[in-house]
Amino acid sequence: MVHYKNPLLVLGCVPHWQGKILLCRRAIEPRRGFWTVPAGFMENGETLQQAAARECYEEAFARVEIRSLLAVVSVTHAAQVHVMFRAQMITEEFAPGPESLEVSLYSEAEIPWAELAFPSGVFTLRSYFADRAAGRDLHHFSELKIPLTSF
């Protein structure tokens, strides 16, 4: 028997509602108490888009329509690939899920940049806001080379 150790897929989205985006304050480690876009591990039997929408509902009880691909970040030191989409919230309803201490809508100026949990989230949000300002809808790719313990 051959046992492969392959990277895990982390799926998420940047949910938006009337010019603001939804962020979650993590209730679990790693980086408990820090803010992040809703994201988590993909499960068997899901598409990328289904996983991103499920994670948004699990972490923020927010229902979203997944839109275009936003960012793919290779987190090689953690054996993960983070795939993020743009998403439109279907309603303004949201609440903390079991993995979130709180959830809130933020304008770009209100984002707690110094309290973001992961570099991949910073990359995703900066890409999102740059695209929004330029009126474009690009795909962004990055490789994270900094271990999480260094962040």
Q: What is the pLDDT of residue 146?
A: 65
The low-confidence residues of the chain, meaning pLDDT below 50, are 148, 150-151
Q: What is the pLDDT of residue 35?
A: 98
Taking the model in full, what pTM does it have? 0.93
Handedness of CA 63, 140, 36, 7 (dihedral sign): positive
- CB environment 4-20: b (16+ within 10 A), e (fewer): eeeeebbbbbbbbbeeb
Instruction: Catalogue all structural domains in the chain, each as residue range(s) with its CATH number.
Output: 8-144 (3.90.79.10)
Residue 71 and residue 141 in contact, taking contact as beta carbons nearer than 8 Å: yes
Segment 8-30, tens digit of pLDDT:
999 999 999 999 999 999 999 99
For residue 137, the tally of other CB atoms under 10 A from its CB is 12
Distance of CA 11 to the CA centre of its chain: 7
